[in-house]
């Protein structure tokens, strides 16, 4: 049982679910042949597809599928042999198509599980709800001009895995342990380099508080946490903020928040104020992703030994000596 | 020399092969014709210089003995296809001035086959319409007029400019795109052959998208033979389009054997419409007789969900369009109307850049996909669509092709039906079902209305069986012997 | 339930379309006509029918993981209404 937080009016339980965006290790983008290399001049690694030019069409990079399936297998997750790419419709200047190609109702990977390591050799299982493949957006730079934002599409269309956990974590420490473990697994598998500074792994935290035993409270989503330290700080700040709001008689509104690491606080994102209605529907430019079991089995057979298996086998091997 | 304008595409090809005239001579004739029919407002951009250069290159190839299937043939391109270095607008203000740095696969295929580009033709804005009235660049006039009536008629749509230039003998062929009837309906309204191939037969890469699960490019020509030749040049698998079918392109022209003995032709009882003009029904019956006389077996069939095709289409197509047209946001190309904030800029740009019909469809499409309505509208429509496709699958157990009218009326006057979107949508009642099922269809001019306007009959075929479709259409064309031509004498230069 | 002018305004905002206030009522009428007309689909029994999500019966197209595109910044930016130092420029976005 994780520790409870003490407020003015009693104890509170913190509930955290995490959405991790992990850039898939691939030379080319998810739906185009442009490079994914980090650090190029603006708009140099952009194909006409990534720029959302009229009449351009996506063609799926097979490597992204392979890496997503391998990652799913490493998470002991169900691989869905039939999955669908859907369009998530919203406007943002660094999202050239006016929609993000993602997976919605039928993701390529379903339920899985991650065993996280806690202090004193304790472990806890955190359930993974799903893993799906999607496109990254470009980058908006806001500090170069007083009245304008600058758009660089080099990241536009880079392949990501979004790995969504159940709200199974109860403290910032558990959330940190989850991300640490997930990153280790991704690195073992080789599907993501886990480099949070360069943005190849980012984390959104869904945070809510409740009285122990109560129903889940209203959550806020803190976007784009790019280090484990910030993840912990943001969760702790947000939990304290929510408890204060409720204890002062207020209510939490479901919203998207940004963590300001300079000020050490979260704040509401004005650009996301619109009620979201993403109007997901199957992308008619892409066919359903149908895999066969033999393909999945072959990937499973080639998977490297994973951290937990290694640890377990190390334990097995070292036990006689310890005795 | 015979007037080159009156040739068919096949005759022009054979004439150049025989050395009767050169590609440059042929192209000059059609550049001149383009100028002569300018009153039709059929082109958005004319590319005479490019045409001359391409024609000269064609003659040079011929001198080397390297001749493609369409070498030296001047064609017009619907302004929905992106052609490198030439403005592409989709008939919309929002794309005015956009010059694509890329060439669509279909047009590249045509140039690879030796064809010559005369220009980019006018169309309904983003191909949304059946009259060519919704173009930002103004309506297109049908070269045909009613007997004793000077009213300007629509050429149909959305490929109205392409239809008009072929009908007015200002191009030997033109590309169209067909989402719910946008090749076949204008084909019928202008007395030419309009052909939509099976979905997946032609690449959609580089064609400005309207509704991705329905859009297909196809040829618009004088004859069925021309259509077969031109489709052969346009079609083919494209690894850049995930919905392109991995199939070789057969020799469509060779399918025109003139022999349909023993073929089973289906006549769907649901295509008899309340209030359909008697002359449409009479023409259809005549067409059935022609098929029977040619030795085909006529089979009555039922396509029970036909009446639901139009409402299904008017959910699916706007839904896809609402998403496809989201990229026109003023950020990277085309029109930008400034605003203080990003949101203002979006709304100002899209508010000013799109016309009324496009906005209407974006709103409908946005609504039917929105939270709480998706299941009731979009999902329901996709299920009904599966039923409509199922009707055709059942029919293919019994028949090899299906014969129907192309449109429920002849061409109407500019301005008619503009205040009633649903009346306008009904134009496509006979063409939309095959679109939803992804099937090939062809409209063949088959007779004249009492007012002296062309009427078309439609043949629908099995998926990827364009050969049978052309074979049946060829027999229909021979039997109809349609040789009426619009009177072009009233057109200024 | 028929759409009113507020619904139309909300849909237009979702689609980022500026619609003049005075057009909202007539647009609501037009949209309601169309929606009323398409409601005839409710008559069709679609129990157990899978929605038609793709027209082509073929396996999904794949591309190999090769870098064979990009490096065309000038083509990408050539049509930009506003560009600066290799970027697209837009009105400032407040996050």
Using one digit for the tens of pLDDT, what is the confidence trace for B179-191?
Answer: 999 999 999 999 9
Q: Which tokens hold the place of B336?
A: 């930008």
- A285, B205 in Cβ contact below 8 A? no
Question: Looking at the partner chain, which of B308, B340, B438 has a beta carbon nearest the beta carbon of C44?
Answer: B308
Q: What is the pLDDT of residue A307?
A: 72
Do the Cβ atoms of C80 and B333 come within 8 Å? yes
Closest C-alpha to C64, from A286, A62, A30 = A62
Q: Which tokens hold the place of A26?
A: 């691939």
Q: What is the pLDDT of residue B78?
A: 98
ipTM of model over 0.95: yes
Do the Cβ atoms of A148 and C68 come within 8 Å? no
**Residues 6+ positions from B64 with CB-CB distance below 8 Å:** none
Structural element, H or E, at residue C88: strand C87-91
Tell which of A29, A39, A46 to mutate to test the C interface (max C CBs under 10 Å).
A46
Do the Cβ atoms of A48 and C75 come within 8 Å? yes
Do the Cβ atoms of B326 and A285 come within 8 Å? no
Q: What is the pLDDT of residue A270?
A: 63
- A178, A170 in Cβ contact below 8 A? no
A236 min Cα distance to partner chain B (Å): 33
Chain A residue with minimum CA distance to C85: A42
Sign of CA dihedral A151, A153, A155, A157: positive
Instruction: Quote the CA–CA distance of A16 and A189 in Å, as a whole number.
Output: 26
Chain A residues inside the 8 Å CB shell of B77 = none
Instruction: Quote the CA–CA distance of C69 and B449 in Å, as a whole number.
Output: 54
Burial of C29 (0-12, 13-18, 19+ CB in 10 A): middle
Structural element, H or E, at residue B467: helix B466-480
Strand partners for A131? A109, A163
C24 close contact with B: CB closer than 8 A: no
**Residues 6+ positions from B99 with CB-CB distance below 8 Å:** B85, B86, B87, B88, C78, C79
- B426, B313 in Cβ contact below 8 A? no
Q: What is the pLDDT of residue B1?
A: 47
Strand partners for B216? B178
- Measured between alpha carbons, how far is residue B236 from residues A63, B74, B201 in Å? 26, 21, 6
pLDDT tens for each residue of C67-92: 999 999 999 999 999 999 999 999 99
**3-state SS class at A20:** strand
A227 min Cα distance to partner chain C (Å): 20
Sign of CA dihedral B3, B5, B6, B8: positive
Chain B residues inside the 8 Å CB shell of C18 = 347-348, 350-352
**Residues 6+ positions from B113 with CB-CB distance below 8 Å:** B68, B69, B70, B71, B233
The torsion defined by the Cα of B105, B110, B116 and B121, in degrees rounded to 10, comes to -60
Chain A residues inside the 8 Å CB shell of C95 = 142, 258, 269-271
Tell which of A65, A94, A140, A279 to mutate to test the B interface (max B CBs under 10 Å).
A279
Chain A residues inside the 8 Å CB shell of C14 = 277, 279
Do the Cβ atoms of C93 and A149 come within 8 Å? yes
B333 close contact with A: CB closer than 8 A: yes
Chain C residue with minimum CA distance to A147: C92
Question: Looking at the partner chain, which of C17, C34, C90 has a beta carbon nearest the beta carbon of B362?
Answer: C17
Residue B116 carries which DSSP code? E
- A159, A64 in Cβ contact below 8 A? yes
Chain C residues inside the 8 Å CB shell of A62 = 62-65
- C91, B339 in Cβ contact below 8 A? yes
Do the Cβ atoms of B323 and A99 come within 8 Å? yes
Beta-carbon count within 10 A of B368 CB: 25
Instruction: Quote the CA–CA distance of B241 and B208 in Å, as a whole number.
Output: 13
Do the Cβ atoms of C52 and B341 come within 8 Å? no
Which of the other chains make 3 or more beta carbon contacts under 8 angstroms with chain A? B, C
**3-state SS class at A16:** strand
pLDDT tens for each residue of C4-43: 999 999 999 999 999 999 999 999 999 999 999 999 999 9
Strand partners for A87? A101, A281
Give φ, ψ of B138 to 5 degrees.
90, 160
Which of the other chains make 3 or more beta carbon contacts under 8 angstroms with chain B? A, C
Per the structure, the count of domains in chain A is 1
Instruction: Quote the CA–CA distance of A171 and A236 in Å, as a whole number.
Output: 8
Do the Cβ atoms of A147 and C91 come within 8 Å? yes
Q: What is the pLDDT of residue B425?
A: 87
In chain B, what are the domains? 4-257+442-450 (3.90.1300.10)
Closest C-alpha to B92, from B166, B180, B163, B158 = B158
Do the Cβ atoms of C30 and B360 come within 8 Å? yes
C73 min Cα distance to partner chain A (Å): 5
Question: Looking at the partner chain, which of B90, B102, B327 has a beta carbon nearest the beta carbon of A98?
Answer: B327
Chain C residues inside the 8 Å CB shell of A270 = 94-95
Q: Which tokens hold the place of B78?
A: 């619907």
**Residues 6+ positions from A125 with CB-CB distance below 8 Å:** A113, A114, A115, A116, A168
Per-position b or e across B207-222, b if 16+ CB within 10 A of its CB? bbbbbbbbbbbbbbbb
Do the Cβ atoms of A59 and B243 come within 8 Å? no
Do the Cβ atoms of C16 and B346 come within 8 Å? yes
**3-state SS class at A103:** strand
- Measured between alpha carbons, how far is residue B230 from residues A33, A282, B36, B175, B248 in Å? 31, 33, 25, 9, 15
> For C47, what's the count of Cα atoms within 13 Å in the CB-facing half-sphere?
1
pLDDT tens for each residue of A265-314: 999 986 555 557 999 999 999 999 999 999 999 999 999 888 777 666 65
Sign of CA dihedral B16, B17, B19, B24: positive
A150 min Cα distance to partner chain B (Å): 11
A84 min Cα distance to partner chain C (Å): 9
Instruction: Quote the CA–CA distance of A268 and A274 in Å, as a whole number.
Output: 12
Chain C residue with minimum CA distance to A60: C62
- B259: cis peptide before it, omega within 30°? no
**Residues 6+ positions from B184 with CB-CB distance below 8 Å:** B178, B194, B195, B196, B406, B431, B441, B442, B443, B456, B458
- C90, A93 in Cβ contact below 8 A? yes
Instruction: Domain ranges for chain C, please list them.
Output: 5-42
Q: What is the pLDDT of residue A320?
A: 46
Closest C-alpha to B360, from C82, A70, A7, C30 = C30
Chain C residues inside the 8 Å CB shell of B246 = 58
C9 min Cα distance to partner chain B (Å): 10
Do the Cβ atoms of A284 and B243 come within 8 Å? yes
**Residues 6+ positions from A158 with CB-CB distance below 8 Å:** A23, A29, A30, A36, A135, A136
Do the Cβ atoms of C69 and A286 come within 8 Å? no
Q: What is the pLDDT of residue A322?
A: 43
The torsion defined by the Cα of A278, A279, A284 and A290, in degrees rounded to 10, comes to 70
Instruction: Quote the CA–CA distance of A5 and A13 in Å, as a whole number.
Output: 6
pLDDT tens for each residue of B361-411: 999 999 999 999 999 999 999 999 999 999 999 999 999 999 999 999 999
Chain A residue with minimum CA distance to B365: A279
A290 min Cα distance to partner chain C (Å): 7
Instruction: Quote the CA–CA distance of B57 and B60 in Å, as a whole number.
Output: 5
Tell which of B92, B332, B340, B422 to mutate to test the C interface (max C CBs under 10 Å).
B332
Beta-carbon count within 10 A of B317 CB: 28
Q: Reply yes or no on whether the pLDDT at B47 is more than 80.
A: yes
Beta-carbon count within 10 A of B328 CB: 28
What residues of chain B, 363 to 422, have a C-beta less than 8 Å from chain A? 366, 369-371, 374, 378
- A144, C83 in Cβ contact below 8 A? no
A54 min Cα distance to partner chain C (Å): 12
Q: What is the pLDDT of residue A321?
A: 45
* Enclosing domain of residue A247: 5-322
Burial of A35 (0-12, 13-18, 19+ CB in 10 A): buried
Chain A residues inside the 8 Å CB shell of C72 = 46-48
Which residue carries 């005549």 as its tokens? B286
Closest C-alpha to B308, from C40, C34, C48, C47 = C40
Instruction: Quote the CA–CA distance of B161 and C36 in Å, as a whole number.
Output: 33
Beta-carbon count within 10 A of A173 CB: 17
C66 close contact with B: CB closer than 8 A: no
Q: What is the pLDDT of residue A314?
A: 59
pLDDT tens for each residue of B427-482: 899 999 999 999 999 999 999 999 999 999 999 999 999 999 999 999 999 999 99
User: pLDDT in tens for each of the 323 residues of chain A?
Assistant: 457 898 889 999 999 999 999 999 999 999 999 999 988 999 999 999 999 999 999 999 999 999 999 999 999 999 999 999 999 999 999 999 999 999 999 999 999 999 999 999 999 999 999 999 999 999 999 999 999 999 999 999 999 999 999 999 999 999 999 999 999 999 999 999 999 988 899 999 999 999 998 999 999 999 989 999 999 999 999 999 999 999 999 999 999 999 999 999 999 986 555 557 999 999 999 999 999 999 999 999 999 888 777 666 655 555 444 44
Strand partners for A204? A19
Sign of CA dihedral B32, B33, B38, B39: positive
Can you list the alpha helix ranges (DSSP code H) found in B149-256? Answer: 160-167, 184-190, 224-234
Question: What is the mean predicted confidence (pLDDT) over B205-224?
Answer: 98
Instruction: Quote the CA–CA distance of B80 and B229 in Å, as a whole number.
Output: 21
Least confident of B150-154, B192-196, B308-312, C1-5: C1-5
**Residues 6+ positions from C9 with CB-CB distance below 8 Å:** C19, C24
Closest C-alpha to A114, from A67, A180, A159, A160 = A180
Residue B258 carries which DSSP code? S
Closest C-alpha to B217, from B195, B237, B233, B187 = B195
Q: What is the pLDDT of residue B490?
A: 79
Closest C-alpha to B432, from B325, B315, B354 = B315
**Residues 6+ positions from A35 with CB-CB distance below 8 Å:** A27, A28, A29, A45, C67, C70
Do the Cβ atoms of B99 and C38 come within 8 Å? no
Question: Looking at the partner chain, which of A50, A62, A274 has a beta carbon nearest the beta carbon of C65?
Answer: A62
Do the Cβ atoms of A277 and B371 come within 8 Å? yes
Q: Which tokens hold the place of B155?
A: 């050429």
- Mean of pLDDT over chain B: 96
Do the Cβ atoms of C95 and A270 come within 8 Å? yes
B355 min Cα distance to partner chain A (Å): 18
C84 close contact with B: CB closer than 8 A: no
Which positions of B are annotated as active-site residues?
A: 78, 158, 182
B450 close contact with A: CB closer than 8 A: no
Chain A residue with minimum CA distance to C13: A274
């Amino acid at each position: 049982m994780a520790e409870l937080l003490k407020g003015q009016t009693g104890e509170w339980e913190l509930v955290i679910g995490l959405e991790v965006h992990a850039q898939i290790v691939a030379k080319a983008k998810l739906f185009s042949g442009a490079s994914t290399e980090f650090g190029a001049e603006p708009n140099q690694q952009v194909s006409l597809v990534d720029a959302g030019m009229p009449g351009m069409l996506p063609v799926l990079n097979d490597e992204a599928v392979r890496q997503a399936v391998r990652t799913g297998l490493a998470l002991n997750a169900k691989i869905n042999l039939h999955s669908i790419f859907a369009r998530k419709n919203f406007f943002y200047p660094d999202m050239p198509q006016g929609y993000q190609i993602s997976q919605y109702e039928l993701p390529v990977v379903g339920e899985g599980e991650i065993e996280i390591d806690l202090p004193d050799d304790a472990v806890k299982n955190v359930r993974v709800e799903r893993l799906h493949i999607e496109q990254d957006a470009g980058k908006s730079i806001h500090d170069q001009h007083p009245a304008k934002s600058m758009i660089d599409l080099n990241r536009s269309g880079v392949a990501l895995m979004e790995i969504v956990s159940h709200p199974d974590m109860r403290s910032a420490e558990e959330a940190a342990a989850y991300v640490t473990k997930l990153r280790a697994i991704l690195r073992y598998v080789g599907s993501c380099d886990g480099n949070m500074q360069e943005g190849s792994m980012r984390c959104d935290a869904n945070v809510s508080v409740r009285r122990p035993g109560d129903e889940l409270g209203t959550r806020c989503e803190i976007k784009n946490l790019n280090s484990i330290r910030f993840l912990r700080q943001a969760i702790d700040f947000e939990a304290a903020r929510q408890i204060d709001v409720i204890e002062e008689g207020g209510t939490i509104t479901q919203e998207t928040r940004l963590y300001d690491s300079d000020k050490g606080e979260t704040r509401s994102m004005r650009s996301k104020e619109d009620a979201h209605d993403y109007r997901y529907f199957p992308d008619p430019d892409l066919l359903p992703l149908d895999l066969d079991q033999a393909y999945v089995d072959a990937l499973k057979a080639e998977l490297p030994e994973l951290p937990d298996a290694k640890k377990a086998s190390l334990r097995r091997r070292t036990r006689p000596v310890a005795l | 020399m015979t007037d080159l304008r009156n040739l068919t595409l096949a005759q022009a090809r054979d004439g150049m092969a025989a050395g009767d005239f050169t590609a440059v001579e042929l192209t000059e004739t059609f550049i001149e014709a383009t100028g002569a029919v300018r009153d039709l407002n059929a082109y958005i951009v004319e590319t005479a210089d490019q045409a001359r250069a391409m024609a000269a290159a064609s003659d040079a190839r011929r001198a080397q003995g390297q001749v493609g299937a369409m070498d030296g043939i001047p064609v017009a391109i619907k302004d929905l296809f992106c052609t490198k270095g030439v403005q592409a607008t989709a008939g919309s203000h929002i794309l005015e001035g956009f010059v694509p740095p890329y060439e669509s696969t279909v047009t590249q295929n045509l140039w690879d086959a030796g064809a010559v580009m005369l220009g980019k033709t006018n169309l309904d804005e983003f191909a949304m319409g059946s009259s060519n009235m919704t173009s930002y660049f103004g309506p297109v006039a049908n070269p045909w007029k009613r007997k004793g009536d000077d009213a300007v008629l629509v050429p149909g749509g959305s490929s109205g400019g392409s239809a008009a230039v072929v009908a007015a003998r200002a191009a030997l062929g033109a590309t169209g795109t067909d989402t719910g009837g946008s090749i076949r309906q204008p084909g019928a309204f202008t007395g030419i052959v309009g052909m939509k191939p099976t979905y997946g037969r032609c690449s959609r890469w580089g064609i400005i998208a309207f509704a991705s699960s329905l859009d297909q490019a196809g040829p618009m020509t004088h004859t069925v033979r021309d259509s077969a030749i031109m489709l052969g040049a346009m079609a083919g698998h494209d690894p850049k389009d995930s919905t392109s079918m991995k199939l070789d392109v057969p020799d469509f022209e060779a399918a025109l054997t003139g022999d349909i003995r023993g073929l089973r032709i289906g006549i769907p009882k649901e295509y008899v419409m309340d209030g359909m003009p008697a002359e449409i029904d009479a023409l259809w019956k005549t067409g059935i007789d022609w098929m029977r006389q040619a030795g085909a077996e006529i089979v009555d069939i039922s396509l029970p969900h036909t009446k639901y095709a139009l409402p299904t289409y008017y959910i699916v197509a706007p839904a896809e369009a609402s998403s496809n047209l989201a990229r026109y946001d003023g950020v990277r190309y085309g029109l930008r109307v400034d605003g203080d904030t990003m949101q203002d800029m979006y709304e100002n740009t899209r508010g000013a850049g799109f016309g009324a019909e496009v906005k209407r469809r974006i709103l409908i499409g946005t609504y039917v996909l929105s939270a709480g309505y998706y299941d009731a509208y979009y999902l329901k429509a996709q299920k009904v669509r599966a039923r409509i496709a199922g009707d055709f699958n059942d029919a293919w157990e019994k028949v090899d092709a299906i014969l129907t009218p192309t449109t429920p009326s002849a061409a109407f006057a500019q301005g008619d039906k503009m205040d009633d979107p649903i009346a306008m949508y009904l134009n496509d009642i006979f063409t939309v079902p095959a679109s939803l099922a992804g099937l090939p269809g062809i409209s063949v001019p088959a007779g004249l209305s009492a007012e002296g306007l062309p009427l078309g009959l439609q043949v629908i075929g099995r998926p990827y069986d364009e050969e049978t479709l052309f074979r049946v259409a060829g027999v229909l064309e021979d039997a109809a012997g349609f040789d009426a031509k619009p009177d072009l004498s009233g057109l200024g230069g | 339930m028929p759409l009113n002018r507020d619904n139309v305004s909300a849909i237009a905002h979702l689609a980022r379309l500026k619609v003049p206030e005075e057009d909202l009522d007539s647009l609501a009428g037009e949209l309601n006509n169309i929606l009323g007309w398409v409601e005839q689909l409710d008559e069709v029994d679609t129990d157990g029918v899978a929605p038609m999500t793709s027209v082509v019966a073929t396996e999904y197209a794949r591309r190999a993981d090769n870098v064979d595109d990009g490096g065309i910044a000038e083509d990408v930016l050539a049509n930009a209404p506003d560009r600066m130092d290799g970027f697209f420029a837009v009105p400032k976005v407040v996050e």
